[in-house]
Amino acid sequence: MDIDLELIKSISITSPSRIVLLVLDGLGGLTDPETGKSELETAVTPNLDALTSKGICGLIDPVAPGITPGSAPGHLALFGYNPVTYNIGRGILEATGIDFDLRPGDVAARGNFCTVDKMGMVIDRRAGRIPTEKSTELCKLLDNMAFDDVKMMVRPVREHRFVVVFRGDKLAPEVNDSDPQQLGIPPKAINTITPKAAKLATAANKFVAQAWKLLAKHHPANMILLRGFSQRPAWPTMEEVYKLKPAAIASYPMYRGLARLVGMKCLDTGSTFEEEIATLKQHYDGYDFFFIHVKKTDAAGEDGDFAGKVEAIEQIDSALPGLTGLNPDVLVVTGDHSTPALLKGHSWHPVPILLCARWCRPDRVRKFGETDCATGGLGRFPATQVMPLAMAHALKLTKFGA
Amino acid sequence: MDIDLELIKSISITSPSRIVLLVLDGLGGLTDPETGKSELETAVTPNLDALTSKGICGLIDPVAPGITPGSAPGHLALFGYNPVTYNIGRGILEATGIDFDLRPGDVAARGNFCTVDKMGMVIDRRAGRIPTEKSTELCKLLDNMAFDDVKMMVRPVREHRFVVVFRGDKLAPEVNDSDPQQLGIPPKAINTITPKAAKLATAANKFVAQAWKLLAKHHPANMILLRGFSQRPAWPTMEEVYKLKPAAIASYPMYRGLARLVGMKCLDTGSTFEEEIATLKQHYDGYDFFFIHVKKTDAAGEDGDFAGKVEAIEQIDSALPGLTGLNPDVLVVTGDHSTPALLKGHSWHPVPILLCARWCRPDRVRKFGETDCATGGLGRFPATQVMPLAMAHALKLTKFGA
């Protein structure tokens, strides 16, 4: 446990108050040059705006100013875990996301079905994004191989994505990816980065060679690429650190995986925000911390769909009274990073945040948006401080020091 | 390499975009009690103000709130190097600044010609600021001494300042300054701080004794004071960390020295801002990062010349279109520290910063000045984050984490 979590752990207490952390994925944006307004500023959001009047606003940096976070660092920071210290491999993230029963020592890798030409050169890193049904079928073809005492389990994720888990004695994950991250060259051989990973490297190369044979007749999914070989880290749970009973309401595998890694219970839920609120209502008495994940904002941003992101935000705003009606003691609305439609991807821009609680000190912000949040009472601060702030406003942190 | 630079190094990429970092030395100021405006706020700066409308503003702390930085920490922070970790001796700084060919193991010290009375008490630490020509002559007198196997090389810098470099086997720089930093007492004996520095201490004391004899008839420059004994550090270069091809446009030796220590190419340039812009134009295609240093603002501040600093800022503003006309992808305008005319010296006050780029998220600041920058979208932040921000806005940083 790093020193910041140790400090919080030493002063956290259990209480009946409830915290809701609503993460609108990729919330932050950039201004449309025509209007001078971002997606969030363009959206008509009477409910969010009303919350800003009662609450306090600011801007958060998920990792640090200038750093564009992946989804894992963005979320871990919001959960209070320093994303540079608590770094996680892609393989474990995917395996946890599909609820794979990982055992100590297992090594997981993220896989893509891909297309290679007759010379074995990669010509499509995603095999034309084959449907999940097809991928599920092909995973069965590759599942349950074994070389020496190493067993390989293969599970589908979504579309062309799958997970392979290597199980055996004394496996170490320090090998390079086979994914060359570009077209026109063959997949890379999997080599060791440290000598102790030799056993895994051998098994992984044999697995890839065998997969190539087995997939020969399954064009466009006639090869695989592996990356992010990793083992499950032993991290402190949110229950240990915050003494919370935390639950996650998220439908996408990756976010469920992240929540599970910090010890949250993943609730069964539908994928719309209304369904997520229904899940929240159903379990409201059973937990004192809820992480709710909304994907639509990020998806529209990634697609470069400014209007779509505006619409997604407006839909969330419309459904919000279902959530605020529960009167959570602390409600935090923010994002895990910015995904400006103009950039069609994650970005480094700081993310607007709104905290509403009985005990917050309101500021003068009256509209939930990037420009206004920059003048908010919370200032600009690292996302790892969101949880301590939420805990404090829920009166779940005692005094530090004599 | 410290952890912050390691992180940036792991995600930095090469791209055709260009960054210009314009450092107006000692830019920050304090308000004239009559007008309530600082030097920068008093100056008429239509071009800088226009940039604030397109860009984003804030305030930076070069070292930390309350800390008054020297020129070296102020600049190193702007280059992204934590000035507490990357601390540098004055001797090495001066030697690098005059382009002295330092070899591994050399120990350099900064020297002053000074005046002592008949009793050997220091009565002027700068020997009446003798002209550089005189100093050059006296340096020749002191140059090329040797004691045992230690050789001493002496080179003039400016006015009363010079550099002495000690070359020999196994020299360690841990000795105290001979400069007593006050008048009416004799220069201090040079003593070891660690035993391994004994050889250097002996040589340095012999050098000082010999210099006293040789300078006896050269009043007011009839003695020397040494300080900042140090060795050249092995720091990561900006090319290693940022994958940039960086160039410095600066005329003063110290700033050229600092730029060289982080691996910048120092371009030949005239000393006026117009000449510096001409140098920028001439080399614009050869580099993707330019550090431009303007000394006049600091010099006026040090002299307590409020009006002179205002005028210096206005001159820079007038010449600015020559720079902005090149359309750098990212333009940062800031200072290495504040030098308020009212304090006649460096100060701890945070420094206004303006970042202008295609991908910045503009704020509501419309005038480049301390009070307005305090409300800017960048907030108040450590100067070491300027480079990550500039790199991000130039799209030279990839995503961190899965």
* A contacts of B385 (beta carbons < 8 Å): 64-66
With a cut of 90, say whether residue A385 has pLDDT above it.
yes
CA–centroid distance for A207 within its chain? 28
Q: Say yes or no for a CB contact (<8 Å) between A379 and B379.
A: yes
Q: Say yes or no for a CB contact (<8 Å) between B402 and A89.
A: yes
Rounded to the nearest angstrom, the minimum Cα separation between B250 and chain A is: 27
Q: Say yes or no for a CB contact (<8 Å) between A64 and B402.
A: no
Please state the rounded mean pLDDT for residues A104-129: 95
In eight-state DSSP terms, residue A349 is S
Q: Give the number of residues written for chain B.
A: 402
Predicted local distance difference test score (pLDDT) of residue A36: 94
Of A63, A93, A380, the CB nearest to B400: A63
- Mark out chain B residues that contact chain A at CB-CB < 8 A: 3-4, 7, 11, 359, 361-364, 375-381, 385, 387-393, 397-402
Strands B150-156 and B145-147: antiparallel
* A contacts of B399 (beta carbons < 8 Å): 68-70, 346
CA–centroid distance for B212 within its chain? 31
Q: Are B332 and B20 in contact (CB under 8 A)?
A: yes
Q: Are B14 and B337 in contact (CB under 8 A)?
A: no
Phi/psi for A179 (5° steps) reads: -65, 115
Q: Say yes or no for a CB contact (<8 Å) between A84 and B392.
A: no
Q: Say yes or no for a CB contact (<8 Å) between B11 and A380.
A: no
Predicted local distance difference test score (pLDDT) of residue B197: 96
Q: Say yes or no for a CB contact (<8 Å) between B398 and A87.
A: no
Q: Say yes or no for a CB contact (<8 Å) between B392 and A66.
A: yes
- Nearest residue of B to residue A339 by CA position? B399
Q: Say yes or no for a CB contact (<8 Å) between A93 and B376.
A: no
pLDDT band at A211 (very low <50, low <70, confident <90, very high): very high
* A contacts of B7 (beta carbons < 8 Å): 64, 67, 84
Alpha-carbon gap, residue A28 to A370, rounded angstroms = 7
Alpha-carbon gap, residue A78 to B212, rounded angstroms = 65
Please state the rounded mean pLDDT for residues B82-109: 91
The DSSP secondary structure of A96-119, one letter per residue, reads: HHTT----TT-EEEEEEEEEE-TT
Q: Say yes or no for a CB contact (<8 Å) between B362 and A88.
A: no
Predicted local distance difference test score (pLDDT) of residue B265: 96
Domains of chain B: 3-87+234-393 (3.40.720.10), 92-230 (3.30.70)
Predicted local distance difference test score (pLDDT) of residue A3: 86
pLDDT band at A5 (very low <50, low <70, confident <90, very high): very high
Q: Say yes or no for a CB contact (<8 Å) between A380 and B385.
A: no
Residue A143 is which amino acid?
A: D
Of B361, B389, B400, the CB nearest to A65: B389
Q: Say yes or no for a CB contact (<8 Å) between B363 and A371.
A: yes
Please state the rounded mean pLDDT for residues A58-65: 96
pLDDT band at A114 (very low <50, low <70, confident <90, very high): very high
Alpha-carbon gap, residue B27 to B69, rounded angstroms = 13
Predicted local distance difference test score (pLDDT) of residue A318: 98
With a cut of 80, say whether residue A67 has pLDDT above it.
yes
Rounded to the nearest angstrom, the minimum Cα separation between B355 and chain A is: 12
ipTM of the complex: 0.88
Residue B291 is which amino acid?
A: F
Predicted local distance difference test score (pLDDT) of residue B41: 98
Of A66, A349, A371, the CB nearest to B397: A66
Rounded to the nearest angstrom, the minimum Cα separation between A254 and chain B is: 10
Between chain A and chain B, the number of residue pairs with CB atoms below 8 A apart is 86
Q: What is the pLDDT of residues B207-226, one digit of tens each?
A: 999 999 999 999 999 999 99
Of B363, B393, B399, the CB nearest to A374: B363
H/E element, A19: strand A19-24
Please state the rounded mean pLDDT for residues B134-142: 97
Q: What is the pLDDT of residues B314-330, one digit of tens each?
A: 999 999 999 999 999 99
Alpha-carbon gap, residue B141 to B135, rounded angstroms = 10
Q: Say yes or no for a CB contact (<8 Å) between B361 and A370.
A: yes
Alpha-carbon gap, residue B382 to B384, rounded angstroms = 5
Predicted local distance difference test score (pLDDT) of residue B95: 93
Exposure string of B173-183, with b = 16+ CB inside 10 Å and e = fewer, is bbbbbbbbeee
Choose, out of A348, A371, A384, A385, the residue to mutate when testing the contact with B (most B CBs < 10 Å): A348
With a cut of 90, say whether residue B19 has pLDDT above it.
yes
Q: Say yes or no for a CB contact (<8 Å) between B7 and A84.
A: yes
pLDDT band at A1 (very low <50, low <70, confident <90, very high): confident
Q: What is the pLDDT of residues B88-101, one digit of tens each?
A: 888 998 998 888 98
Please state the rounded mean pLDDT for residues A44-57: 97
Q: Say yes or no for a CB contact (<8 Å) between B363 and A380.
A: no
With a cut of 90, say whether residue A181 has pLDDT above it.
no
pLDDT band at B3 (very low <50, low <70, confident <90, very high): confident
pLDDT band at A87 (very low <50, low <70, confident <90, very high): confident
* B contacts of A87 (beta carbons < 8 Å): 401
Predicted local distance difference test score (pLDDT) of residue B253: 84
- Mark out chain A residues that contact chain B at CB-CB < 8 A: 30-31, 36, 38, 59, 63-73, 83-84, 87-90, 93, 228, 342-343, 346-349, 370-371, 374-375, 379-380
pLDDT band at A101 (very low <50, low <70, confident <90, very high): confident
Rounded to the nearest angstrom, the minimum Cα separation between B388 and chain A is: 5
Average pLDDT of chain A to the nearest whole number: 96
Q: Say yes or no for a CB contact (<8 Å) between A349 and B364.
A: no
Predicted local distance difference test score (pLDDT) of residue A402: 81
Alpha-carbon gap, residue B265 to B246, rounded angstroms = 6
Dig out the tokens for A46 from the structure: 């009477």
Dig out the tokens for B325 from the structure: 């006309």
pLDDT band at A234 (very low <50, low <70, confident <90, very high): confident
pLDDT band at B401 (very low <50, low <70, confident <90, very high): confident
Q: What is the pLDDT of residues A304-319, one digit of tens each?
A: 999 999 999 999 999 9
Rounded to the nearest angstrom, the minimum Cα separation between B171 and chain A is: 38
Q: Say yes or no for a CB contact (<8 Å) between A68 and B400.
A: yes
Q: Say yes or no for a CB contact (<8 Å) between B401 and A228.
A: no
Choose, out of A39, A68, A371, the residue to mutate when testing the contact with B (most B CBs < 10 Å): A68
With a cut of 80, say whether residue A135 has pLDDT above it.
yes
Alpha-carbon gap, residue A218 to A220, rounded angstroms = 6
User: Residue B254: exposed, middle, or buried by beta-carbon count in 10 A (0-12, 13-18, 19+)?
Assistant: buried
With a cut of 80, say whether residue A115 has pLDDT above it.
yes
Please state the rounded mean pLDDT for residues A349-360: 98
pLDDT band at A362 (very low <50, low <70, confident <90, very high): very high
Q: What is the pLDDT of residues B243-284, one digit of tens each?
A: 999 999 999 888 998 999 999 999 999 999 999 999 999 999
Distances (CA, A) of A83 to A166, A220, A227: 26, 37, 20
In eight-state DSSP terms, residue B197 is G
Q: Say yes or no for a CB contact (<8 Å) between A347 and B362.
A: no
Rounded to the nearest angstrom, the minimum Cα separation between B53 and chain A is: 11
- Nearest residue of A to residue B361 by CA position? A30
Predicted local distance difference test score (pLDDT) of residue A99: 84
Alpha-carbon gap, residue A205 to A202, rounded angstroms = 5
